């Protein structure tokens, strides 16, 4: 008999929702907890796992549950306690495992030679019909506590212990998330200051994160590259870091004849991997929250770097929460739309139609929420409790915002692509109607541009609507060229100020074939951070400023995140447009790998493409 693979089981989505709560409540800054400020949705606290067995011979089994959970095992109508060995004779048997847990996901692990928690269990929540129970590769040991996501630990020693003002500054070679271990000569437990920059770490009055070691000498897991212990000289204090990361293998490498580009790829990869924990995080020092807009960009990087679909599914599941849905993801209307688009991007990347089918009702219900708040012309507007974000930019926000409608049109397109046969025309018609209304109301033929607002009369133009029209393919080639000329290359149009939206602009430029411009930008912007000594890429960067002016943001002297997921986009840009690996439905393997011409004399790289590795080589063999 083949070995049965038992593992922990839970109601689909609940483990993600529990750990998302933990993640979004984990931010601590200057001694203040800062739980994410959006509707925080819980896991199911009462579920039942069910299965029917046909046994040819007697067997025994045992059920473990989440610590603190209550419940019992119902075998053919007789109840047994949890954690007891239960005998079961030959014949047909109905097993139900009832579990309730307030503080954590109610999960079960069934151990036994025949009866065990492998494939085949159903779970129900007393609201919807039973569904197959969920599991993953991280929770396969009956001794585990599902409230703790397992992380690989690596010991890291500082490269320097430097006496500074009567204390000791420890320097690590690179930034990471770690539990610091502190050993003092006198056994004291001193306050320890951690920082992403040397300046932040030594500025104890303004440093973001400080803590005292616990009784074992450990600090909570936190992002750091430097650690400062005031009042103890290097002979009297030692630290080492236990780096903790979720096990997700990197499956890409990039080597070309431009050493700077190679280093950009490498540091972008570090940045992405540090922000790839249980979920895609925006940054590892700040916010440590799961934002839909940030996660959307991480999907593009992730498919070229790890090909790990599980972190994408965990993130998409956690962001979306349960039905019925009443609030927008992270309270932001465009982040709900980006989640719909993300479902399309993810499905394109991995072709996981099971996941799509499972999430499809939630795509429809989220679209229902969005559609319910359209005005009489079909334009999406924010409700009182909503945030219409798009970008930090000086939009003319009177009435419906054009860029928001572009997201909506793209979302209609995603729905149309994945809808069941009979429903496609509905979504296509929605998109067509919307784009016709956009053309009628927002298109300014004289300026050759979309105006932000048609209700104010100000005819104000920003880049955003044009960029989105291009990257989502919402307009034809001629219009795209016109937008490039009249908006993107028009110095009068205000420049994109955030790296967040710069992702869309660079993608648009690549789609327009302007690779030289993009490569120059990559080298200037990301290369510029490297020249200032970055070991991870930053939330924002102004090449005109010296290092000591780089740390401030949001009015805070160290507010900027120096390891920020959206800064990893060169992975995607280099992989897709320069190494030239992209989906091609007609191709034998579903992709083509055609490096861009005129940029590299030598190229040796490898990327994941679903289950396979794609090697791309140019020049010297």
In the structure encoding, which two tokens stand for residue 584, read together?
């091609």
List CB contacts of 107: < 8 A, sequence separation 6 or more. Answer: 8, 9, 10, 15, 65, 66, 69, 99, 139, 146
Stretch that binds a copy of itself, among 97-105, 152-160, 226-234, 420-428 (CB under 8 A): 97-105
Nearer to a copy of itself, 46 or 523 (CB): 46
484 Rama class: left (phi>0) / alpha (psi -120 to 50) / beta: alpha
Among 129, 143, 546, 598, binds a copy of itself (CB under 8 A): 129
Nearer to a copy of itself, 446 or 554 (CB): 554
In the structure encoding, which two tokens stand for residue 486, read together?
């009249």
- Report if residue 40 touches a copy of itself, rule: CB under 8 A: yes
- Report if residue 513 touches a copy of itself, rule: CB under 8 A: no
How many CA within 13 A on the CB side of residue 414?
24
Count Cβ atoms below 10 Å from residue 216 Cβ, excluding itself.
8
- Report if residue 30 touches a copy of itself, rule: CB under 8 A: yes
- Report if residue 453 touches a copy of itself, rule: CB under 8 A: no
Encoded one letter per residue, x for contact with a copy of itself by CB under 8 A and - for no contact, window 519-558 reads: ----------------------------------------
- Report if residue 36 touches a copy of itself, rule: CB under 8 A: yes
Among 88, 104, 252, 562, binds a copy of itself (CB under 8 A): 104
- Report if residue 102 touches a copy of itself, rule: CB under 8 A: yes
CA–CA gap between residue 324 and residue 568 (Å, rounded)? 34
Which residues ranging from 70 to 89 are in contact with a copy of itself (CB under 8 A)? 70-73, 79-82, 84
Contact call for residues 538 and 562 (beta carbons, < 8 A) = yes
Among 9, 10, 13, 44, binds a copy of itself (CB under 8 A): 44
Nearer to a copy of itself, 336 or 466 (CB): 336
- Report if residue 18 touches a copy of itself, rule: CB under 8 A: yes
Nearer to a copy of itself, 301 or 332 (CB): 332
Omega within 30 of 0 (cis) for the link into 216: no
- Report if residue 327 touches a copy of itself, rule: CB under 8 A: yes
CA–CA gap between residue 21 and residue 103 (Å, rounded)? 11
- Report if residue 410 touches a copy of itself, rule: CB under 8 A: no
- CA distances for 290 relative to 43, 266, 273, 311, angstroms: 17, 24, 15, 12
- Report if residue 100 touches a copy of itself, rule: CB under 8 A: yes
Please calculate the CA angle 605-606-609 and round it to the nearest 5 degrees: 145
- Report if residue 286 touches a copy of itself, rule: CB under 8 A: no
Q: Least separation, in Å, of the C-beta of 432 and a copy of itself?
A: 32
Residue at token pair 């580009």:
261
Closest listed residue to residue 41, CA positions, set 15, 12, 17: 17
CA–CA gap between residue 151 and residue 93 (Å, rounded)? 38
- Report if residue 99 touches a copy of itself, rule: CB under 8 A: yes
- Report if residue 98 touches a copy of itself, rule: CB under 8 A: yes
Stretch that binds a copy of itself, among 23-31, 296-304, 585-593, 607-615 (CB under 8 A): 23-31
Exposed / middle / buried, residue 193 (Cβ in 10 Å: 0-12, 13-18, 19+): buried
Q: Least separation, in Å, of the C-beta of 65 and a copy of itself?
A: 9
Phi then psi dihedrals of residue 589, to 5 deg: -100, 5
- Report if residue 120 touches a copy of itself, rule: CB under 8 A: no
- Report if residue 372 touches a copy of itself, rule: CB under 8 A: no
- Report if residue 424 touches a copy of itself, rule: CB under 8 A: no
Nearer to a copy of itself, 45 or 233 (CB): 45
SS3 label, residue 104: coil
Stretch that binds a copy of itself, among 40-48, 190-198, 436-444, 613-621 (CB under 8 A): 40-48
Among 324, 420, 422, 491, binds a copy of itself (CB under 8 A): 324
In the structure encoding, which two tokens stand for residue 161, read together?
């212990």
- Report if residue 392 touches a copy of itself, rule: CB under 8 A: no
Pairing of strands 222-229, 131-132: unpaired
- Report if residue 170 touches a copy of itself, rule: CB under 8 A: no
E-strand stretches of 198-256: 209-211, 222-229, 237-245, 253-256
- Report if residue 123 touches a copy of itself, rule: CB under 8 A: no
Pairing of strands 192-195, 167-184: unpaired
- Report if residue 499 touches a copy of itself, rule: CB under 8 A: no
- Report if residue 164 touches a copy of itself, rule: CB under 8 A: no
Q: Least separation, in Å, of the C-beta of 46 and a copy of itself?
A: 4
- Report if residue 171 touches a copy of itself, rule: CB under 8 A: no
List CB contacts of 556: < 8 A, sequence separation 6 or more. Answer: none
- Report if residue 31 touches a copy of itself, rule: CB under 8 A: yes
Among 4, 12, 38, 378, binds a copy of itself (CB under 8 A): 38
Contact call for residues 519 and 578 (beta carbons, < 8 A) = yes
Phi then psi dihedrals of residue 409, to 5 deg: -60, -40
How many CA within 13 A on the CB side of residue 171?
11
- Report if residue 21 touches a copy of itself, rule: CB under 8 A: yes
# residues contacting a copy of itself (CB under 8 A): 52
CA–CA gap between residue 472 and residue 530 (Å, rounded)? 31
- Report if residue 28 touches a copy of itself, rule: CB under 8 A: yes
Stretch that binds a copy of itself, among 126-134, 173-181, 218-226, 505-513 (CB under 8 A): 126-134
Stretch that binds a copy of itself, among 203-211, 301-309, 320-328, 346-354 (CB under 8 A): 320-328
List CB contacts of 210: < 8 A, sequence separation 6 or more. Answer: 30, 31, 191, 192, 193, 194, 204
Bridge partners of residue 374, in order along the sequence: 380
Closest listed residue to residue 619, CA positions, set 598, 599, 603, 596: 603
Q: Least separation, in Å, of the C-beta of 28 and a copy of itself?
A: 7
Binding site for a copy of itself (CB under 8 A): 18, 21-22, 24-25, 28-46, 48, 70-73, 79-82, 84, 98-104, 125-129, 324, 326-327, 331, 384-385
């Amino acid at each position: 008999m083949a070995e049965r693979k038992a593992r922990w089981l839970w109601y689909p989505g609940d483990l993600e929702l529990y750990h998302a709560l933990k993640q979004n409540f984990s931010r601590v800054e200057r001694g203040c907890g800062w739980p994410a400020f959006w509707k925080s949705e819980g896991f199911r606290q009462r579920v039942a796992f069910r299965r029917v067995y046909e046994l040819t011979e007697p067997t025994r089994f045992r059920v473990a549950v989440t610590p603190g959970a209550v419940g019992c095992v119902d075998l053919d109508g007789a109840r047994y306690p949890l954690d007891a060995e239960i005998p079961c004779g030959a014949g047909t048997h109905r097993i139900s495992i009832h579990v309730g847990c307030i503080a954590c996901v109610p999960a079960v692990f069934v151990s036994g030679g025949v009866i065990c928690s492998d494939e085949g269990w159903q779970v129900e929540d007393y609201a919807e019909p039973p569904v197959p129970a969920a599991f993953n590769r991280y929770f396969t040991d009956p001794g585990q506590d599902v409230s703790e996501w397992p992380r690989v630990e690596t010991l890291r020693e500082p490269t320097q212990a430097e006496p500074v003002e009567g204390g000791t500054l420890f320097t690590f070679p690179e930034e990471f998330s770690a539990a610091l271990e502190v050993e003092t000569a006198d056994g004291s437990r001193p306050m320890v200051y951690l920082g992403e920059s040397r300046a932040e770490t030594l500025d104890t009055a303004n440093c973001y994160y400080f803590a005292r070691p616990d009784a074992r000498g450990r600090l909570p897991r936190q992002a750091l590259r430097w650690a400062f212990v005031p009042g103890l000289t290097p002979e009297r204090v030692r630290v080492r870091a236990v780096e903790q990361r979720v096990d997700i293998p990197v499956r890409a490498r990039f080597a070309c004849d431009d050493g700077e580009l190679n280093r950009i790829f490498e540091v972008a990869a570090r940045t992405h991997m540090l922000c790839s924990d249980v979920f895609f995080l925006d940054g590892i020092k700040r916010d440590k929250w799961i934002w839909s807009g940030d996660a959307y960009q991480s999907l593009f990087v992730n498919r070229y770097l790890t090909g790990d679909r599980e972190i994408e599914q965990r993130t998409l599941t956690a962001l979306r929460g349960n039905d019925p849905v009443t609030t927008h993801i992270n309270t932001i209307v465009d982040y709900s739309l980006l989640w719909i688009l993300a479902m399309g991007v993810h499905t394109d990347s991995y072709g996981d139609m099971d996941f799509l089918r499972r999430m499809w009702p939630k795509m429809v219900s989220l679209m229902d929420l969005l559609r319910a708040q359209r005005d009489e012309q079909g334009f999406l507007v924010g409700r009182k409790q909503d945030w219409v974000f798009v970008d930090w930019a000086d939009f003319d926000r009177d009435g419906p915002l054009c860029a928001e409608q572009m997201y909506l049109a793209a979302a209609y397109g995603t729905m149309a692509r994945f809808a069941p046969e009979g429903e496609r025309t509905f979504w296509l018609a929605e998109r067509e109607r919307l784009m016709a209304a956009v053309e009628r109301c927002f298109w300014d033929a004289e300026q050759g541009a979309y105006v932000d607002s048609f209700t104010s009369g100000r005819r104000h133009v920003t880049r955003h609507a044009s960029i989105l029209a291009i990257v989502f393919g919402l307009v034809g080639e001629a219009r795209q060229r016109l937008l490039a000329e009249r908006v993107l290359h028009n110095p009068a149009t205000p420049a994109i100020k955030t790296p967040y939206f710069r992702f869309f602009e660079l993608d648009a430029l690549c789609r327009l074939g302007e690779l030289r411009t993009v490569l120059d930008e990559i080298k200037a912007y990301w290369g510029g951070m490297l020249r200032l000594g970055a070991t991870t890429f930053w939330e924002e960067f102004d090449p005109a400023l010296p290092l000591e002016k780089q740390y401030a943001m949001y009015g805070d002297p160290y507010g900027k995140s120096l390891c920020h997921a959206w800064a990893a986009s060169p992975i995607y840009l280099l992989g897709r447009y320069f190494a030239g690996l992209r989906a091609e439905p007609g191709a034998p393997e579903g992709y083509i790998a055609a490096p861009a011409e005129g940029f590299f004399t030598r190229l040796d790289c490898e990327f994941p493409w679903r289950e396979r590795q794609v090697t791309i080589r140019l020049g010297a063999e």
